[in-house]
Amino acid sequence: MEKKLQARFLEITGRVQGVGFRPFVYRLANKFHLCGYVKNDVNGVVVFIEGHAKDIDLFMQEIYLETPPLSEIVNIVMQKKEPLYSKEFKIIHDESAMQLKTAIISPDFAICDDCKKDILKKNHKYSNYFATNCTNCGPRYTIIKTVPYDRENTSMAKFIMCASCQNEYLDPLNRRYHAQPISCHMCGPSLDGTIRDIAQKIKSGAIVAIKGIGGFHIVCDATNDESVQKLREAKNRPSKPFALMCKDIKQIQSFSIVTPEEETLLKSKEAPVVILKKKILLDSIISNDVAPNIERIGCFLPYTPLHCLLFTILTQPIVATSANFAGEPIITTKEELEKKLPFVEAILDFDRDIVNGIDDSVAQIVAKKVQLLRIARGYAPKTIKLPYKLNKKILAVGANQKNSIALAFDDQIIISPYIGDLNSIRTFEFFLKTLQTFKNFYDFEADIILYDKHPQYETTKWVKKQNKESYSVQHHLAHIYAAKAEYGLESDYLGFTFDGTGYGEDGLLWGGEVFVGDKRKYHFKPLKLLGGEKAIKEPRRVALSMLFESYSLDEVLKINLPFSLSEIEVLYQSYQKNLNAPLTTSVGRLFDGVASLSKLCHFQSYEGEAGLLCEMRYNKDSSEFFNYTIVDGEIAIEFDFFDKEIVTKFINTLVEIVVSISKKESLDVILSGGVFQNKTLLELIVERLNKDNIKYYYQQKTSINDGGISLGQISYYLQHCSCKN
């Protein structure tokens, strides 16, 4: 006798739309002879299956195992149902549900292994085709104009699928089923030059530009000193390291150390630039000018078919740096590139438009775990699910540097990609454009706007003009709450925020604060920033200020710092009379001062340079540290400015301070702020906190630097408001 049929209804949430999830369910159902249907709905995917109990069990086991690479199941709710006795399994295309505009916009992903194989095959439909993609890889966010994510809403709309692509697109068993950007030699985008020619130009030493996923890269031969120097001069970028794109892991290993965790990250579908440690080599193939003076180097692997094809010709690594003009956003069109970067000798362009520009992401491994330093291609837009629903729509406009924006509505927070430093007019325009893009995606109109307390931030000035209900959130509390959002934390924590400079409650520039809950309980001893903003670019000014704290003018004059006599006298006046000498508690600035005192760096040509140089000088065999005092919550380090090991002792002192306060306060710890991008410092702290069994959190998947401020503003507000259902 035939066993009775059983039926189940599944509601699957997570990243399950636009990633090949329905065809995956279709194949699985067929494999186990189940009938029913699968379709998208507002929350994800719903599945109805009917068949024998044993087959349903097998189906349920495999649904977790062989999921499509880009999908992510958050939850499956299963209900028993009466069978409908359907005769087949169907994919239902009912996109009306999608019009609600809550669907997650997927980031862009690196070319998958199957597509890599396709383009390298001989006499294959996709042989050498630079824009090959499938459901498991390729562009998304960068080509979307609006949701739902269908071809007609992307910059692929103008390319009409050929019969062959159409067949693949419509075949649920094909890897390119419903891959919106599907295209081939016959019907898709085409290059305005050849990969061979551009490769020849690179080999001959030229500086070229190549269109990528989110914008153009400026490219040159990384083994050619002359080319790299030429690029540095043209971009007026004396020492900020360039990222390197390499043919494969083996090539990266020839000049840098790659741990297993770093290798996994390099090969991931997000394919970020990974900051690695250089090997100490006498005859490194890489030009010294790629990342001068530091022991780190940022590398990434080819992530588009175009890159992969380029490396079938090139044997050397290439510099691949975002094409932009002095602090402006990444360039996405050939016209702008020709206008703004006239030094580029050749351009390889194609006719699939970049709708939303986006930079490469940057990441590092700290204590064997990923830490994202710049959240862009592959990671953004990023969604954080909330355990409750909101009755208001909230926009957070973030910080002025490394700006990102965040939106909260329904039961989610959506974080934009990295936007940049808003002091440039073009970057501020890019901020406005990104805001508009996200408003369009989600039919979003903010009820409430959140911003930083700094009155001079461009974002603050913008918010004041909006005539909306708005609240400011203190910068460092936002840092702590960003970490709380990432980990879903609610109670009180001991929050260390070591940072550059942010606007404090008392009008001073904070950046070395320790909070218990929302209360600032400790802070570093304020230091005068001689010349205000100027001091941020000139560590020597911080060093001088530190010296003035301890020595007379006559004594300071005997110390060898790169100032003229008259400069020192003027700065001494400014120190004494508090003229253009704002007070700061910033730990980032202390790093600058220490870097200058140890003659590592008197002028900073890029942010974080002093810290990177300090890491290099750190002597891991020494555990010595400076004495410090904590009086009325004020932390003062008793520096010996002439100690040869000042860098090591300073870093060790910071570790001691964090550990001893953590022990005293006996609360779980949060570490946030840009200073915790310092791998040496963070790893030392983590090691000690582990040893002492102190529970700690630091951001890994969201920005620990100012890129996380928008998320933190929302998180702070959500924990203090009554806008939750």
Using CB under 5 A as the binding criterion, the count of chain residues that bind Zn ion stands at 10
Q: Which stretch binds Zn ion (CB under 5 A): 112-120, 492-500, 540-548, 701-709?
A: 112-120
In this structure, the chain runs to a length of 725
Please identify which residue in 29, 156, 165, 613 interacts with Zn ion, judged by CB under 5 A. 165
106 interacts with Zn ion by CB under 5 A: no
186 interacts with Zn ion by CB under 5 A: yes
112 interacts with Zn ion by CB under 5 A: yes
Q: How far is the CB of 130 from Zn ion (least distance, A)?
A: 13
47 interacts with Zn ion by CB under 5 A: no
Q: Quick one: 307 or 479, whose CB is closer to Zn ion?
A: 307
Q: Quick one: 136 or 574, whose CB is closer to Zn ion?
A: 136
Q: Quick one: 117 or 461, whose CB is closer to Zn ion?
A: 117
Q: Which stretch binds Zn ion (CB under 5 A): 28-36, 156-164, 241-249, 390-398?
A: 156-164
Check if 40 is active-site. Answer: yes
Check if 22 is active-site. Answer: yes
Q: How many other CB atoms are there within 10 angstroms of residue 248's CB atom?
A: 12
For 111, which DSSP code?
P
Residues 6+ apart with CB under 8 A from 455: 503
Q: Quick one: 1 or 163, whose CB is closer to Zn ion?
A: 163
Q: Quick one: 161 or 337, whose CB is closer to Zn ion?
A: 161
Distance, CA of 345 to CA of 402 (rounded, Å) = 30
Structure tokens of 537?
Answer: 């670019």
Q: Please identify which residue in the block is written with the tokens 């609600």.
A: 100
Residues 6+ apart with CB under 8 A from 721: none
Task: Say which of 8, 15, 40, 140 is annotated catalytic.
Answer: 40
Helix (H, G, I), strand (E, B) or coil at 319: strand
Structure tokens of 113?
Answer: 């292994």
Structure tokens of 339?
Answer: 């206008």
184 interacts with Zn ion by CB under 5 A: yes
Sign of CA dihedral 380, 383, 384, 389: positive
Q: How many other CB atoms are there within 10 angstroms of residue 356's CB atom?
A: 25
Task: Say which of 15, 22, 151, 589 is annotated catalytic.
Answer: 22
Q: How far is the CB of 189 from Zn ion (least distance, A)?
A: 11
Distance, CA of 696 to CA of 686 (rounded, Å) = 8
Torsion of CA 586, 590, 592, 596, to 10 degrees: 160
323 interacts with Zn ion by CB under 5 A: no
For 692, which DSSP code?
T
Q: Which stretch binds Zn ion (CB under 5 A): 13-21, 90-98, 133-141, 301-309?
A: 133-141
84 interacts with Zn ion by CB under 5 A: no
Residues 6+ apart with CB under 8 A from 204: none
120 interacts with Zn ion by CB under 5 A: no
Q: Quick one: 165 or 365, whose CB is closer to Zn ion?
A: 165
Structure tokens of 382?
Answer: 């990023």
Q: Which stretch binds Zn ion (CB under 5 A): 74-82, 185-193, 333-341, 430-438?
A: 185-193
Specify burial of residue 179 (Cβ count, 10 A radius: 0-12, 13-18, 19+): buried
134 interacts with Zn ion by CB under 5 A: yes
> Are the CB atoms for 471 and 717 separated by under 8 Å?
yes
Q: Which stretch binds Zn ion (CB under 5 A): 17-25, 63-71, 155-163, 216-224?
A: 155-163
Q: Quick one: 185 or 525, whose CB is closer to Zn ion?
A: 185
Helix (H, G, I), strand (E, B) or coil at 441: helix
115 interacts with Zn ion by CB under 5 A: yes
Q: Which amino acid is at 55?
A: D
> Are the CB atoms for 305 and 210 separated by under 8 Å?
no
131 interacts with Zn ion by CB under 5 A: no
Please identify which residue in 58, 60, 73, 187 interacts with Zn ion, judged by CB under 5 A. 187
Which residues, in sequence order, are bridge partners of residue 382? Answer: 415
Q: How far is the CB of 183 from Zn ion (least distance, A)?
A: 6
The interface with Zn ion within residues 262-321 (CB under 5 A) comprises none
Which residues carry out catalysis?
22, 40
Give the footprint of Zn ion on this chain (CB under 5 A).
112, 115, 134, 136-137, 162, 165, 184, 186-187
